[in-house]
Chains A and B, each alone.
Chain A
Amino acid sequence: MIARLRADSRTLPILALIVAAFGILAAGNPTFAQAGTYAAIFAIAAIGLSLLMGNVNQISLGQAGFFGIGAYAVASLTTAWNLPPWLSWPLATLIGIGVATLVGLGLGFIALRFRGHYLAMATLAFGLICVGIFHETKFLGGAIGIEDVPYPRFGPLTISGYPAYWFAWILALGAALLTLNLLRGRSGRAFEAIRNDELAAEVLGVPTRRYKIFAFAYSGALAGLGGAVYAAFLGIVVPDAVSVQLSISLLLMVVLGGSGGVSGALIGAALIGFLDISGHQFENTREVVYGLLVILVVIALPGGAFGLIRSRFKTAKLPPRSLATPSPAAVTPRALALPAASGAPLAVAHVTKRFGGLVAVNDVSFALTRGTLTSLIGPNGAGKTTLFNAISGIGRLTEGSVEIAGNDVTGWQPHRVAALGVGRTFQNARLFGEMTVLENVVAGAFRAERTSFGADLFALPSSRRAEREATERARDTLARLGLEPIASTLAKDLAFGDRRRVELARATASGPWLLLVDEPAAGLNASERTALTADLLKLRDAGMTLLLIEHDMRLVMSISERVMVLKFGTMIADGKADAVRNDPGVVAAYLGTAS
């Protein structure tokens, strides 16, 4: 479970108790019950937005569009149908959520193209278009909207007035629980990884684009549910009720309460619900206060109200500290599943990569032999990392092709390349800073973890088991590398050398058979280097194929079966370590020639 969610998990039952207590107190007070019901309705929509904003780092100013889809689905269908009341509302709601989800998928797909304020504007346009459509569609009532929406009825119980409070809050808390389940499992870890470092998540095999689209669809579905409850509770739906103002209000709730997780959204919705009702007579003043509050929160309290509560849970169990003496390594990777029918683990053919006029990699070809350790060296700017990027699918090749274990992966997205069994580390150790070391390594095993979305959502035993196993495996990995003492340290607090070793642990957690390691020894001290060397050799001896970029010649020459040299993008030498070391061209490249 992500550290950030620990507070959420403990707070949710308390919030449920408060909701129940308030419900009992509000029994004789229709005004309070009504305010509470609105709070629940908006909470449902706010939870989705909170996930989108806090867990995936996307913004949406169009949530009212989804809310409207749910509301109009219920209003139009339940008034048009002649179904029994117990069936009518649930069925219409499901249809509304379905449509909202599909539209959310579409919007999520579009949203991939935008970031920051461009995304804010694109989603704003989406919300406006929805209102326009509601406004101009005849059978949705045009500007007048739809009146006399029947209350949902289950047997003798009619969901209106006081019972609606309980009904709406059961749905809201249910949505909160399911969302929390989702965030506690593999999907939540993937979200958190994306939020921290999209590229690193992608090369670990997380289909980041799919997850971002999914987040939009999920937030759309919840907003749609909110709208469906709203339509039934209020009995009337008009276009103005689902205007941009609602999108902004939802945003305010999430910001006030604190985004990410579910508790912040619930608190924010309750706050606004309370302010709404207590400021009833001061209609314009109330909105001014919201505006001031939001600005104050953004400036002084970026975590929102729940951020204050969350910070109490933050105290790490173990203080961050460096591992003084790295244990002589002991990575024993799990059985490496090499693909049965395959050629060379990696074959690069005539790869060229140009950035404008600059040729970073020029017609490079080579193939690796299984179970060997090959080093790629060359002066700074020789194109080594660019070549790694080309292999792992980051950016497009200008020319040439890359084949991994018999698959032509040219043009594949990085997560698909990773899924073949390719691991990689980065020159600047791109760990997920806000996650602990353990979580980083569990996230590394994303591909190896077997669980389904549905199982996660309902926290089925299979999901819990997968979660337990993944954590156990990660603990084993850490134990073998001697990294256990720092398991619960946040990655951003790590010492530099530890960072590298954690990244290596993360890259090998899913059991890849091809590993690309980018300058692992940079910045390490002597004993750390010894440990690293042993780690790498161990991986090779277990059958892994390694390609290593490194500047430390002693390390390179002592462990490499083969050394390749790049200079200005061109391969100038390729052979056994000794032969390359004495190659006049290589010597010239590194030391220059006497002229």
Chain B
Amino acid sequence: MFQLLVAGLTVGSGYALVALGIHIILRATRIVNFAQGEFTIIGGLLALTFVQLFHANTWFALLGATLAGFVLGLIFERLVLRPAARSGEIPLTIATLGTVSILLYGHALIPGWGSLPQPLPSFTGNASDAITVSGVSIQVQSMWVLGLLLVALAVLYVFFERTYYGKAIRAAANNPTGAKLVGIDVTNARAVSVGLSIALAAYGGTIIGPITLVGGAGGTAIAIKGFVGAIIGGLESPVGCVAGGLLVGIIEKLIQGLPGVSYGISDPIVYSLLLVGLLLRPQGLLGARSAVRD
């Protein structure tokens, strides 16, 4: 039971970062980025390339992938989101779906990446290393994942709550016109938001990489589970997104751990939570009852 919980929190960390990334882009641009899961996959692959190309360890690769994710996010914003913004919400959503197509099938074309998932070296020791706490063994990698999730959240918190630039970005997201009037470069803030969000996705793809493998066609599933987390926790609430993502991971592992249950049933059940959540509490467990029908 405890092991399932830890396993759930580990995969949930990936979903939490995807959900948080979706939230950041939603706040800045008012659209939902369907390609967030694909960027997570690309992030893991970038880390793999850093490891292979520079014989770097995974820590260095994590830094490299995150920075590369930021740049990728800026490009994504400049080439897709910004030009498509004029066309309206539905076309913009469709443009992010087009991005899914490019990233999902495009990454398989890149030498060294291919279409099959590959292992990423562990942060420390071997992938199977485990410590035993009062009779329960926990993978060391899982602890790294949770620790690194907390690090990312702490950094984001400090950035958005304590720094001038972070506050300016929030202001630009909350009230673009007002922000413009007090001299904030809203366009720039938007681009940085998207960059941060994609950097977060790449970071998430890397930290869970040693456990879940990197690459492959699983991006859509990750994105959707991120949505489920965001919807359950509250799309408009950053804390809700993280909590919801973790919860989805736990639910997934608990269902898979039930005796006599087919492994494949967990995905449809998790997906149906999206619909249930939207219907019962569209603002999410931790969201305020506002902007539901925007």
Chain B residues, CB < 8 A from A325:
none
Contact between B231 and A121, CB atoms less than 8 A apart: yes
Contact between A287 and B105, CB atoms less than 8 A apart: yes
How far is A295 from B106 in the complex, measured between Cα atoms in Å? 15
Total A-B contacts with CB atoms under 8 angstroms apart: 144
Number of interface residues of A (CB under 8 A): 46
Chain A residues, CB < 8 A from B83:
299
Among A6-14, A97-105, A160-168, A248-256, the one that faces the other chain is A248-256
> Could you say which of A136, A143, A285, A299 contacts B109, with CB atoms under 8 Å apart?
A285
Contact between B102 and A292, CB atoms less than 8 A apart: yes
Chain B residues, CB < 8 A from A381:
none
Say if the beta carbon of B189 comes within 8 Å of chain A.
Answer: no
Tell me whether A294 and B278 are in contact in the complex, defined as CB-CB below 8 angstroms, given that A299-B83, A299-B84, A299-B87 are known contacts: no
Say if the beta carbon of A395 comes within 8 Å of chain B.
Answer: no
How far is A291 from B104 in the complex, measured between Cα atoms in Å? 10
Say if the beta carbon of A420 comes within 8 Å of chain B.
Answer: no
Q: Kindly supply a per-residue 1/0 record for chain A positions 108-139, scoring 1 wherever the CB is within 8 Å of any chain B CB and 0 otherwise.
A: 00100111111011101110110111011000
Q: How far is the CB of A313 from chain B (nearest CB, A)?
A: 22
Among B89-97, B125-133, B160-168, B207-215, the one that faces the other chain is B89-97
Contact between A244 and B98, CB atoms less than 8 A apart: no
Contact between A136 and B279, CB atoms less than 8 A apart: no
Contact between A121 and B227, CB atoms less than 8 A apart: yes
Within 8 A of B (CB), among A43-61: 53, 57, 59, 61
How far is A110 from B98 in the complex, measured between Cα atoms in Å? 26
Q: How far is the CB of B251 from chain A (nearest CB, A)?
A: 15
How far is A285 from B101 in the complex, measured between Cα atoms in Å? 10
Tell me whether A284 and B109 are in contact in the complex, defined as CB-CB below 8 angstroms, given that A53-B90, A295-B84 are known contacts: yes
Chain B residues, CB < 8 A from A114:
278, 282, 293
Say if the beta carbon of A335 comes within 8 Å of chain B.
Answer: no
Contact between B97 and A251, CB atoms less than 8 A apart: yes
How far is A294 from B34 in the complex, measured between Cα atoms in Å? 14
Nearest CB in chain A to that of B276: its residue: A125
How far is A131 from B271 in the complex, measured between Cα atoms in Å? 10
Tell me whether A118 and B292 are in contact in the complex, defined as CB-CB below 8 angstroms, given that A135-B268, A288-B106, A302-B87 are known contacts: yes
Contact between A121 and B105, CB atoms less than 8 A apart: no
Contact between A298 and B101, CB atoms less than 8 A apart: no
Chain B residues, CB < 8 A from A131:
268
Number of interface residues of B (CB under 8 A): 48
How far is A122 from B93 in the complex, measured between Cα atoms in Å? 14
Q: How far is the CB of B39 from chain A (nearest CB, A)?
A: 14
How far is A53 from B88 in the complex, measured between Cα atoms in Å? 13
Chain B residues, CB < 8 A from A61:
97
How far is A287 from B32 in the complex, measured between Cα atoms in Å? 22
> Could you say which of B93, B98, B264 contacts A59, with CB atoms under 8 Å apart?
B93
Contact between A122 and B278, CB atoms less than 8 A apart: yes
Say if the beta carbon of B151 comes within 8 Å of chain A.
Answer: no
Tell me whether A292 and B98 are in contact in the complex, defined as CB-CB below 8 angstroms, given that A121-B231, A136-B265, A302-B91 are known contacts: yes
Contact between B220 and A244, CB atoms less than 8 A apart: yes
How far is A110 from B279 in the complex, measured between Cα atoms in Å? 8
How far is A244 from B94 in the complex, measured between Cα atoms in Å? 14
Q: How far is the CB of A193 from chain B (nearest CB, A)?
A: 19
Chain A residues, CB < 8 A from B220:
244-245
Contact between A143 and B268, CB atoms less than 8 A apart: no
Q: Binding site of B, secondary structure by majority: helix, strand, loop or mixed?
A: helix
Contact between B224 and A124, CB atoms less than 8 A apart: yes
Q: How far is the CB of B240 from chain A (nearest CB, A)?
A: 15
Nearest CB in chain B to that of A284: its residue: B105
* Listed residue (B92, B101, B267, B268) with the most chain A CB atoms within 10 angstroms of its CB: B101
Say if the beta carbon of A290 comes within 8 Å of chain B.
Answer: yes
Nearest CB in chain B to that of A57: its residue: B90
Within 8 A of A (CB), among B245-294: 262, 264-265, 267-269, 271-272, 274-275, 278-279, 282, 292-294
Chain B residues, CB < 8 A from A129:
268, 271-272, 275
Chain B residues, CB < 8 A from A120:
32, 34, 90, 93
Contact between A117 and B89, CB atoms less than 8 A apart: yes
Chain B residues, CB < 8 A from A252:
97-98, 101
* Listed residue (B32, B98, B106, B220) with the most chain A CB atoms within 10 angstroms of its CB: B98
Chain B residues, CB < 8 A from A299:
83-84, 87, 95
Say if the beta carbon of B115 comes within 8 Å of chain A.
Answer: yes
Within 8 A of B (CB), among A462-485: none
Contact between B99 and A116, CB atoms less than 8 A apart: no
Tell me whether A298 and B271 are in contact in the complex, defined as CB-CB below 8 angstroms, given that A117-B31, A284-B115, A287-B105 are known contacts: no
Say if the beta carbon of B100 comes within 8 Å of chain A.
Answer: yes
Within 8 A of A (CB), among B65-104: 80, 83-84, 87, 89-95, 97-104
Within 8 A of B (CB), among A403-433: none
Chain A residues, CB < 8 A from B279:
110, 113
Say if the beta carbon of B108 comes within 8 Å of chain A.
Answer: yes
Q: How far is the CB of A377 from chain B (nearest CB, A)?
A: 34
Nearest CB in chain A to that of B102: its residue: A291
Nearest CB in chain A to that of B82: its residue: A299
Chain A residues, CB < 8 A from B34:
120
Q: How far is the CB of A118 from chain B (nearest CB, A)?
A: 6
> Could you say which of B224, B264, B282 contacts A135, with CB atoms under 8 Å apart?
B264
Contact between B32 and A295, CB atoms less than 8 A apart: no
* Listed residue (A125, A132, A299) with the most chain B CB atoms within 10 angstroms of its CB: A125
Q: List 11 A-B contacts (CB under 8 A).
A: A59-B90, A59-B94, A113-B278, A115-B294, A116-B294, A118-B292, A120-B93, A125-B274, A132-B267, A284-B108, A298-B91
Chain B residues packing against A (C-beta within 8 Å)? 26, 31-32, 34, 80, 83-84, 87, 89-95, 97-106, 108-109, 115, 220, 224, 227, 231, 262, 264-265, 267-269, 271-272, 274-275, 278-279, 282, 292-294
11 further A-B pairs in the complex, CB-CB below 8 A; given A59-B90, A110-B279, A290-B101: A110-B275, A115-B294, A124-B227, A125-B274, A132-B269, A284-B105, A285-B105, A291-B105, A295-B99, A298-B87, A298-B92
Closest 8 CB pairs of A and B: A132-B268, A291-B101, A294-B98, A287-B105, A291-B102, A117-B32, A125-B274, A128-B271
